[in-house]
A and B are shown apart, each in its own frame.
Chain A
Amino acid sequence: MANTLNKIEVVTDYKHLQIRELTDTGGYHRRVLQCDQTLAEDEHQEVKDKAEELWTDEVKDKWATHQAEQEAKLKE
């Protein structure tokens, strides 16, 4: 990770990790990680630790169910 970790926010029941980083030029860069994602090897260690702590099987199941419901909604 070239950018510096600035903030981790945990949002929704699905424990999305909202990441804010500082770029070399001092600006912000944002991304969101969901519990069905595989983290990059060079991910910030604090992010890895947070994901390990929060992304339980129960959370992953709830997220998968929610996504399936959304896909079904799109096809209505």
Chain B
Amino acid sequence: MSGIIGGAGSKSGVIGETEIDYEEGTWTPTLLVGTIQSLGDARYVKIGSQVFLYIDYFETDSTDNATNQGVSNFPFTVGDSYSSAVSVNNSANAKRSLAIQNDTHSFFYPAGSTTSSPSSDIISKGFYGWTMSYATI
């Protein structure tokens, strides 16, 4: 199957004979603790019921990174909690961590941890990049 999804910035398209539900745009993430000091980019792409999110921001105040830190204000409702894929990268020590997502937000959730308290690896100031995907309603 092959096809064209309109042109740049297109909102819908046809692959073969099937019209697909495609949308892209921006969203405004908010931190669960403190505020984003400097937002670089926050974009989404939705293909069918699958939502892909990307954000990057610079955190200058490490006190904003506390227990239960995370991101909320998603662009689409989460269809099935805890079934998402999330990756977080922190420039301060170049370590990646996982996060867990429920209906309204994603928590920092260190890989291998069974609690939502972040390790020191992911509470430093610096650049943060998140990619997430989940199914919406």
Would A29 and B26 count as touching, CB distance under 8 A? yes
Residues of chain A lying within 8 A (CB to CB) of residue B26? 23, 27-30
Given A28-B11, A74-B102, A16:B77 Cβ within 8 A: yes
Interface residues on A, range: 10 to 19
Q: A11-B137, A74-B116 are in contact. Are A31 and B28 (CB under 8 A)?
A: yes
Q: Which residues of chain A have C-beta atoms less than 8 A from B107's C-beta?
A: 74
Which residues in A have their C-beta under 8 angstroms from that of B73? 31-32
Q: Mark A1-31, 1 if CB is under 8 A from B, else 0.
A: 0000000000110001010100100111111
Cα of A36 to Cα of B5 in the assembled complex, Å: 38
Interface size class of B (residues with CB under 8 A): 20 to 34
A/B pair count, beta carbons within 8 Å:
52
**Which residues 24-39 of B have a CB within 8 angstroms of A?**
24-28
17 contacts between A and B (CB under 8 A): A11-B137, A12-B77, A12-B137, A27-B26, A28-B26, A29-B25, A30-B44, A30-B75, A31-B27, A31-B73, A32-B73, A34-B104, A66-B103, A70-B81, A70-B102, A70-B103, A73-B102
* Supplied contacts A12-B137, A30-B44, A30-B76, 13 more A-B pairs, CB within 8 Å: A12-B77, A18-B77, A26-B9, A27-B25, A28-B11, A29-B25, A29-B28, A30-B75, A31-B27, A31-B73, A32-B77, A67-B104, A74-B116
